[in-house]
A and B are shown apart, each in its own frame.
Chain A
Amino acid sequence: MLSALIIIPLVSAVIIGLTPLKEKNTRNLAIVTSVTILAINIALSWQFDFRQEGFQFAQNITWIEWIGLDYHLGIDGLSFPLVLLNSLLTLVAIVATNPTTQRPRLYYSMLFLLSAGAAGAFLAQDLLLFFLFYELEIVPLYFLIAIWGGPKRGYAAMKFLLYTALSGILVLASFLGLVWVTGETTFDYSVLRSHVLPLSTQLWLLVPLLIGIFIKIPIFPFHTWLPDAHVQASTPISVLLAGVLLKLGTYALLRFGVGLFLEGWVYLAPWLAILAGISALYGASCAIAQTDMKKVVAYSSIAHMAYILLAVTATTRLSMTAAVFQMVSHGLISAFLFLLVGMVYNKTGSRDVNYLRGLLNPERGLPVTGGLMILGVMASSGLPGMVGFISEFLVFRGSFPIFPIPTLMCLVGTGLTAVYFLLVINKVFFGRLTESLTQIPPVQWKEHAPAFVLLLLIIAFGVKPDWVIHWSEVQAIALLTGG
């Protein structure tokens, strides 16, 4: 069943790419496929036993024996929410795609390859398999930015490619080193995890892994590819980039960083916590200075992803659960914000906060978009009633007893979230509507539909967080106990 989550998007990518379908049929097929994948995911959730530690629905097929590569899939409480998030956001991205997009077959084909890569990475229980899927998603994302991106798409795509390729190399180096020092002939996660390595060895292997992961997450100072990639990518790609692909990094942090090198992780944790605090403050400070709405959200992503790092460094039961929850929370909220920023850009032709004014105007502005944006900002700022509050509260509550200073730094970052987002809201949505924008086309309700779905989840999980927590709590804690 797990293979379906990878094979269906892969096959769809091939079919859509090679079959001469009409534009409308391509889009419809893509929607049907993504709905099918989401339905499979939901069906999985009915059968998944959240109280059980370890992997479920495992599939293990020897693939390329001589290099130790097995097709080994499994899902646990750590990967389950992320796989679900991947399928949901893939559907959202497809629905949010402009129906008249250029080269639709290539576009949807790349999108499904990306989705398959992410799903594969979350499900892989073989380190080399993980690396394969981790690299697989680089190629389609490169094309998605380079072909359908903004004016500087070439630069952004190449920067993304170089950074992420380097990240992959470092991750691979760590994996190869691990296999070499353990003397194993397989890259199987469970087998490698059973080895207890000396601290110094763990540190040697962990450091390149962390650098590679920090490029992906991204964490300061390895973050510079992200703002460019986000700004140049189209709205649906930004949704996937922020909502899913960054989570590959934090997932790898938990699964491999903590899972494989726990002692080394605990040794480095104080420094990493400080780095998380610095990254949070840096991201927030940069966001305040931005004039492009998308860049504000991009830098906000850097800050919010740092909270995940903070939570993981604390390695308490609460903080580990919080880390997973924050991944889901950030995935939903950042996707929501990028959708709305994309809507503003689509209708007004601009994202410049110094140009846009008064978009909340009920007669000629974008009042619903503005209202949703205010809710999104509230969610990102951690206002109670929404998922952002719960996730950030859990992160800080779980981390403060262990690393109070970095936690306080991140708390300040949360406060700054309200600052930079309110600045944007105040400039862009309040005041008198810009004269040159008095004839912007209205937004149809179906254009807002993906945003409303995400909002529903943001509020639902904010009101009933245990729906998400109980997915991952057992496994998140098991990472610390060797389970």
Chain B
Amino acid sequence: MVSTSVKRSKSFLVDEYIARLEKGDALLDDSPQNLVEVVGILKSYGVVLDAYSINLCYIANTQFLKLFPFFKYFNGEVNSNKIAKFIWHDRINYEYAEYCMKSMFWHGGGGLDAYLDTPEFAAETENLIKAYFKYNPLMLGLHKIFPDFLPEQMRQMAYYSGLGQFWRVMSDIFIDLSDSYDRGEIKCIPDVVKFILDGLVADATRPITYTVKVGDQEYNILPESAGLTFLADTAVPYVEAIFFRGTPFTGTVSYNAQAYEIPYDPGMFNYGALYADPLPIGGAGIPPTLLMQDMRHFLPDYLHQLYRENSIRGEGDLRVQICESFQKSMFCVTTAAVQGLAPHSLDTNDAEELTANRKYLRGWLNRIIQSQVIKVNSNTDV
């Protein structure tokens, strides 16, 4: 007898996931294994984000306008021991943090991106440059000839700082989540989503500011008056740039812009973490292999044990398993973001609010359904 698999249309799947979200479930299926994987990987992710955050803020605060920041990954601690460790590559892959920053910078969006085009930002940056290179006529001369170069460096620094501050908050949320799980307070995937959502909401209006010092003079590159906040101006652009759009690195597919393989509209990119194939053939872009390498050093014991038991390869395919768990966790974070940004509470009974919510959710899910979510839940064909 010929067996057939059930194929469901895209719109059917979108409706199914809308119903899940309205019910209070997450994009990720709720199961004991998923819970262990998500909490465990977010713990290690939290530790890594802590390191990334510190370094990004260090670079933004001290390495701005430095043309050759050779020791930017050292966080101010340069000694032979640390240099040896760096050369041996016994360190965190801070480069990955920079890739995320550049991706976020390139895609832009949100208030941070908008503020960088304002005359206030331009003026403050100009003052900073003049002060920084006060005794360097060569640089001042070059700045006159190429007036956009140094301000562009400061625009990047703004993103370094913004992302660093965003990850500061997220790192704390993820580590607190793990502690909460250890105390037995987190029992299912919806609990994880709620915890993350509560964390995001608590810091939603946290101001994002960036101030540097030259001598005794402070320069408010991102002042409080700009009104930039954590959720709207860093979290949302980050989710958009890193989870969804990403960048078309070589990986499982080779992208050829000249052959029109890459969409004209960056808004149509789908190379982000939610779309990444966990089985790379050695590419450094998709999936975030550098991040996986960092996270494997900070896995909780229970997760490490699970990986050893789950795989026929033992620890041979640890990074793939880490990537799969990481994707699962990112679907939880995405769920929290989607819930948090919904126009109305998702469990509303009001017809008008329900319609507005559904319109909102459909917009998200039309994109999410093309990600790895189906495969991660691995029960249906698209």
Contacts and interface: CB of A to CB of B under 8 A. Distances in A.
Contacts of A442: 312-314, 316
Interface in B109-150: none
A432 B283 CA distance: 11
A441 B279 contact: no
A363 B279 contact: yes
Contacts of B75: none
A362 B317 CA distance: 8
A358 interface: yes
B312 A439 contact: yes
B307 to A, nearest CB: 12
Contacts of A364: 279, 313, 316-317, 320
B377 to A, nearest CB: 15
Given A363-B319, A363-B320, A364-B320, A432 B313 contact: no
B282 A362 contact: yes
Contacts of A362: 281-282
B281 A432 contact: yes
A264 B281 CA distance: 57
A442 to B, nearest CB: 5
A307 to B, nearest CB: 35
Nearest to B317: A363
Nearest to B277: A432
Contacts of B314: 442
A431 B252 CA distance: 7
A15 to B, nearest CB: 39
Interface string A416-442: 000000000000001111000011111
Nearest to A429: B281
Contacts of B316: 363-364, 442
Nearest to A360: B281
Interface in A422-472: 430-433, 438-442
A224 interface: no
A442 B316 CA distance: 8
Contacts of B279: 358, 361, 363-364, 432-433, 438
B313 A430 contact: no
Contact of A432 (B252, B319, B320): B252
A438 B279 CA distance: 9
Nearest to A438: B279
Contacts of A439: 311-312
A442 B314 CA distance: 9
A360 B281 CA distance: 7
Interface residues of B, number: 14
B316 to A, nearest CB: 5
Contacts of A358: 279, 281
Nearest to B314: A442
A439 B321 CA distance: 12
Nearest to B375: A435
Contacts of B312: 439-442
Interface in B310-334: 311-314, 316-317, 319-320
A65 to B, nearest CB: 64
A442 B317 CA distance: 10
A361 B282 CA distance: 7
Contacts of B313: 363-364, 441-442
A431 B250 CA distance: 12
A242 to B, nearest CB: 31
A371 to B, nearest CB: 12
A432 B280 CA distance: 7
A440 B317 CA distance: 11
A361 B283 CA distance: 10
A433 B280 CA distance: 9
A440 B281 CA distance: 16
B255 to A, nearest CB: 15
Contacts of A438: 279
A41 to B, nearest CB: 38
Q: Which of A433, A440, A441 has the most CB of B within 10 A?
A: A433
Contacts of A361: 279-281
Contacts of B277: 432
Contacts of A430: 281
A441 B312 CA distance: 6
Contact of A431 (B281, B311, B317, B320): B281
A228 B277 CA distance: 39
A439 to B, nearest CB: 5
Interface in A24-50: none
A285 B12 CA distance: 49
A433 B281 CA distance: 8
Q: Which of B279, B314, B316 has the most CB of A within 10 A?
A: B279
B19 to A, nearest CB: 28
Contacts of B320: 363-364
A360 B252 CA distance: 12
Interface in B225-245: none
A430 B252 CA distance: 10
A431 B253 CA distance: 8
Interface string A339-362: 000000000000000000010111
B306 to A, nearest CB: 16
A321 to B, nearest CB: 43
A359 to B, nearest CB: 10
Contacts of B317: 363-364
Contacts of A440: 312
Q: Which of A363, A364, A438, A439 has the most CB of B within 10 A?
A: A363
Interface string A70-84: 000000000000000
Contacts of B319: 363
A431 to B, nearest CB: 7
A363 B316 CA distance: 6
A442 B320 CA distance: 15
Contacts of B311: 439
A358 B282 CA distance: 11
Contacts of B252: 431-432
A6 B32 CA distance: 64
A363 B282 CA distance: 9
Interface string A346-390: 000000000000101111100000000000000000000000000
Interface in A60-93: none
Contacts of B280: 361, 363
A161 B199 CA distance: 77
A20 to B, nearest CB: 36
Contacts of A432: 252, 277, 279, 281
Contacts of B282: 360, 362
A363 B321 CA distance: 10
A14 B179 CA distance: 69
A360 B282 CA distance: 9
A245 B252 CA distance: 43
A52 to B, nearest CB: 53
A366 to B, nearest CB: 11
A369 to B, nearest CB: 14
B381 to A, nearest CB: 12
A360 B283 CA distance: 12
A356 to B, nearest CB: 14
A155 to B, nearest CB: 29
A361 B312 CA distance: 15
17 contacts: A358-B281, A360-B281, A361-B279, A363-B280, A363-B313, A363-B316, A364-B279, A364-B317, A364-B320, A430-B281, A432-B252, A432-B279, A433-B281, A438-B279, A439-B311, A439-B312, A442-B314
Given A433-B281, A440-B312, 13 more contacts: A358-B279, A358-B281, A361-B280, A363-B313, A363-B316, A363-B317, A364-B279, A431-B252, A432-B277, A432-B281, A438-B279, A439-B311, A439-B312
The 10 closest A-B pairs by CB, nearest first: A363-B317, A363-B320, A432-B252, A364-B317, A433-B279, A439-B312, A442-B313, A441-B312, A442-B316, A361-B281
Interface of A: 358, 360-364, 430-433, 438-442
